[in-house]
Amino acid sequence: MTLTKRHLVTRISEETGLGQQQVFDVVQKTLDYISESLARNNKVELRNFGVFEVKIRKPRVGRNPNQPENNVPIPARATVKFRAGKEMRSEVLKLPAKV
């Protein structure tokens, strides 16, 4: 199952007794502040959850699999990286490995 923003809002609303619109506003504002901070090239650190940071990918040359003789230049670009926090990493490690 995928946890969507809607599922998150519903679950928090049920557990706290707050209205869904209030919870939605708080969740949305939190996500907006995280995005805004990353857009300013700031690191976002949420203790015990993880760290979001902007990394710049170097320009490189790609190839079209249908026409491998043609090189395709791929420009440098910014991307968001996430490193899981200690608690999240330990919880995920409890999952059984698929072979």
| pLDDT tens, residue by residue, 40-70 | 999 999 998 999 999 999 999 998 888 888 8
Q: Answer yes or no: is 46 within a domain.
A: no
* DSSP notation for the chain: ----HHHHHHHHHHHH---HHHHHHHHHHHHHHHHHHHHTT--EEETTTEEEEEEEEPPEEEEETTEEEEEEEE--EEEEEEEE-HHHHHHHTTSPPP-
Query: Does residue 29 register a pLDDT over 90?
Result: yes
pLDDT by residue (tens digit) across 9-19?
Answer: 999 999 999 99
Q: Which domain covers residue 36, as residue numbers?
A: 1-40
On whether both 2 and 36 belong to a single domain, the answer is: yes
Whether residues 58 and 36 fall in one domain: no
Judgement on whether residues 59 and 87 belong to the same structural domain of the protein: yes
Same domain, 4 and 35: yes
Residue 69 lies in a domain: yes
Residue 47 placed within a domain: no
At 42, list the tokens: 């700031």
Count of domains observed in the chain: 2
Q: Does residue 45 form part of some domain?
A: no
Whether residues 56 and 35 share a domain: the answer is no
Let me know if residue 74 belongs to a domain.
yes
pLDDT for res 99: 67
